[in-house]
């Protein structure tokens, strides 16, 4: 299974960082600007189609269809589906409540009760993002002066919104579709590179002053996690994509979160290591340094695997499990010398090596388990070296 598409601008930049392809000139009309132009053109097309169809169907206020199309048409297919779902539920709930409460009581009390009921119902149904749209629909049905019946106004409102949503979904799916899952794959590859940069920044403070950009590196990693979580929610609503893509992307997102948590724990573990005078951690070298070096390479390699969407290729001349075994052996060899060092220094060294082992195993699992999830299990079983990382 492959997630194939023309390279986006950010994928081109990622390829440069991974040294996959030679640098290409982006030009004035780069990918991001082309994407913006395409989205603007699709939005204009959807709004115009809604207006024309509403006139052809004889809808009284056809502009509501154009408004709906403009609101729900997002930058990718999954986000458009999500926005359409919220608007459909909000409009239907609002139309039903607006018509029902207009039959009982007088303004403004029935209107107040209708809005209150809409917000409560949407919240209880897990549709909180639809509550505002329900309230808007209630306002139109109950407060807008119309010569027709309230039932007719509610029906027209639902029909116009449905028209806008159908047109928006058709345009985003059929006209130069932009898939959230492809942007998520790109974002996950960049996320592993950012996590690797965070890892390197943390180790800068080991036996020294904390790096000046440590907080910025942590915030960059957290921002990438949040962005990719939003893309994952949108990608889950997209159809097709081939077998295993949904499981693979979800698994990589989960490993990304776990690695971030492990890196934050490592950051806490190295705090105060600049005050260690005895250098107990230095006695763990070269095993400790080799594991840290291979972890850096591991982040880079997993990012490349995501970029190419191929996970059953191990990094050459590297095996994190061997690194861990060598570090554990080195720990056993120097344990008897611990009496010469402070308890705080020894505990700090043990904490650091434990977190390094956890990060190494998470990196290895992120590649191996994703390989199985996307359908590469047979090749993984046929090639024992695939478990190297």
CATH number assigned to the domain comprising residue 376? 1.20.58
Angstrom distance (rounded) from CA 68 to CA 86: 11
Question: Is the residue at 297 inside a domain?
Answer: yes
pLDDT 10s digits, 217-259: 999 999 999 999 988 888 887 776 666 788 889 999 999 999 9
214 in the same domain as 343: yes
Cα 135 to its chain centre, rounded Å, is 30
17 located within any domain: no
The predicted pLDDT at position 5 comes to: 43
- Is residue 299 a part of any domain in this protein? yes
Average pLDDT over residues 114-125: 92
285 and 319 in a single domain? The answer is yes
Per-residue confidence band for 155, with pLDDT thresholds at 50, 70 and 90: confident
Q: How far apart are CA 60 and CA 162, in angstroms?
A: 15
Query: In this predicted structure, what is the pLDDT of residue 382?
Result: 40
pLDDT grade, residue 58 (50/70/90)?
confident
pLDDT of residue 385 exceeding 50: no
State whether 185 and 126 are in the same domain: no
List the alpha helices (DSSP H) in 125-179: 128-143, 150-174
Last residue of a domain, one of 128, 143, 174: 174
Banded pLDDT at 98 (limits 50, 70, 90): confident
Percent of the chain with pLDDT over 70: 83
**DSSP state letter for 210:** P
Euclidean distance between CA atoms 35 and 43, whole angstroms: 12
pLDDT beyond 90 at 191: yes
Average pLDDT in the 134-163 region? 79
Q: Which of 55-64, 298-307, 338-347, 380-389 has the lowest mean pLDDT?
A: 380-389
Q: Which domain holds residue 117?
A: 31-174
**Same-domain check for residues 378 and 299:** yes
What's the start-to-end Cα distance of the chain, in Å?
Answer: 21
| 54 occurs within a structural domain | yes
- Average pLDDT of the residues in 7-21: 48
- Regarding whether 220 and 158 lie in a shared domain, the answer is no
pLDDT in the model for residue 4: 43
| Banded pLDDT at 30 (limits 50, 70, 90) | low
Residue 9 in any domain: the answer is: no
Note the pLDDT of residue 148.
64
User: With 90 as the cut, is the pLDDT of residue 269 above it?
Assistant: no
Please give the average per-residue pLDDT across 292-301, as a whole number: 91
* pLDDT band at residue 63 using 50, 70 and 90 as cut-offs: confident
Q: Which residues contact 311 (CB under 8 A, 6 or more apart)?
A: 305, 367, 368, 370, 371, 374, 376
> Which of the four pLDDT bands, split at 50, 70 and 90, describes residue 8?
very low
Last residue of a domain, which of 155, 174, 193? 174
Distances (CA, A) of 39 to 34, 52, 68, 84, 268: 9, 20, 16, 17, 44
- Given pLDDT bands bounded at 50, 70 and 90, which one contains residue 363? very high
Ranking 264-268, 287-291, 381-385 by mean pLDDT, the lowest is 381-385
Residues 50 and 188 in one domain: no
Clarify whether residues 245 and 338 are in a common domain: yes
C-beta neighbour count of 337 within 10 angstroms: 12
Q: Is residue 5 part of a domain?
A: no
Q: How many domains does the chain have?
A: 2
In a shared domain, residues 204 and 232 = yes
Percent of the residues in the chain that have a pLDDT greater than 90, as a whole number: 23
Residue 347 lies in a domain: yes
Would you put residue 42 in left (φ > 0), alpha (ψ -120 to 50) or beta? Answer: alpha
Class of residue 126 by CB neighbours under 10 A (exposed 0-12, middle 13-18, buried 19+): exposed
Q: Report CA dihedral (73, 230, 307, 380) to the nearest 10 degrees.
A: -120
pLDDT of residue 386: 43
Q: Is the pLDDT of residue 181 over 50?
A: yes
Looking at the structure, tell me whether residues 95 and 243 fall in a common domain: no
Write down which residue in 174, 205, 233 finishes a domain: 174
pLDDT at 29: 58
Which of these, 125, 142, 38, 61, lies nearest to 90 by C-alpha position? 125
Residues 370 and 333 occupy one common structural domain: yes
Cα-Cα-Cα-Cα dihedral sign, residues 236, 237, 238, 244: positive
The confidence score (pLDDT) of residue 264 equals: 94
| Same domain, residue pair 188 and 75 | no
Q: HSE, CB side, 13 Å, CA atoms: give it for residue 269.
A: 21
- Taking each helix axis from N to C end, the angle separating 63-72 and 31-57, rounded to the nearest 10 degrees, works out to 150
159 & 110 share domain? yes
22 is a domain residue = no
Query: What is the spatial distance between Cα 188 and Cα 8, in angstroms, rounded to a whole number?
Result: 14
| Lowest mean per-residue pLDDT among 74-78, 200-204, 293-297, 337-341 | 337-341
């Amino acid at each position: 299974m492959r997630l194939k598409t023309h390279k986006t601008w950010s994928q081109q930049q990622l390829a440069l960082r991974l040294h996959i392809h030679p640098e290409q000139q982006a030009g004035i009309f780069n990918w991001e600007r082309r994407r913006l132009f395409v989205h603007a053109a699709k939005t204009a097309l959807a709004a115009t189609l809604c207006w024309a169809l509403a006139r052809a169907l004889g809808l009284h206020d056809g502009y509501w269809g154009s408004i709906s199309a403009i609101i729900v048409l997002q930058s990718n297919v999954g986000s458009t589906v999500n926005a359409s779902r919220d608007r459909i539920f909000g409009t239907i709930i609002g139309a039903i409540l607006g018509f029902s409460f207009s039959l009982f009581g007088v303004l403004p009390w029935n209107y107040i009760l209708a809005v209150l009921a809409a917000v409560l119902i949407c919240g209880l149904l897990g549709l909180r993002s639809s509550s505002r749209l329900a309230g808007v629909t209630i306002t139109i049905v109950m407060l807008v002066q119309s010569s027709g019946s309230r039932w007719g106004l509610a029906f027209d409102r639902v029909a116009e919104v449905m028209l806008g949503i159908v047109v928006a979904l058709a345009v985003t799916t059929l006209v130069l579709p932009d898939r959230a899952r492809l942007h998520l794959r790109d974002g996950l590859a960049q996320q592993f590179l950012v996590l690797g940069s965070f890892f390197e920044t943390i180790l800068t403070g080991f036996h020294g002053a904390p790096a000046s950009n440590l907080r910025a590196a942590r915030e960059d990693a957290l921002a990438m996690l949040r962005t990719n979580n939003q893309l994952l929610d949108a990608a889950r609503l997209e159809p097709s994509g081939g077998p295993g893509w949904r499981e693979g992307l979800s698994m990589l997102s989960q490993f990304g979160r776990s690695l971030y948590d492990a890196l934050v724990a490592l950051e806490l573990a190295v705090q105060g290591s600049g005050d260690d005078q005895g250098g107990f951690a230095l006695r763990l070298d070269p095993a400790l340094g080799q594991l840290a070096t291979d972890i850096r390479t591991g982040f880079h390699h997993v990012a490349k695997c995501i970029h190419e969407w191929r996970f059953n290729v191990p990094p050459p001349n590297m095996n994190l499990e061997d690194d861990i075994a060598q570090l554990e052996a080195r720990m056993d060899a120097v344990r008897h010398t611990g009496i010469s060092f402070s308890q705080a220094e020894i505990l700090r060294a043990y904490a650091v090596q434990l977190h390094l082992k956890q990060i190494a195993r998470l990196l290895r699992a992120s590649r191996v388990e994703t390989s199985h999830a996307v359908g590469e299990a047979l090749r993984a079983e046929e090639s024992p070296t695939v478990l190297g990382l």
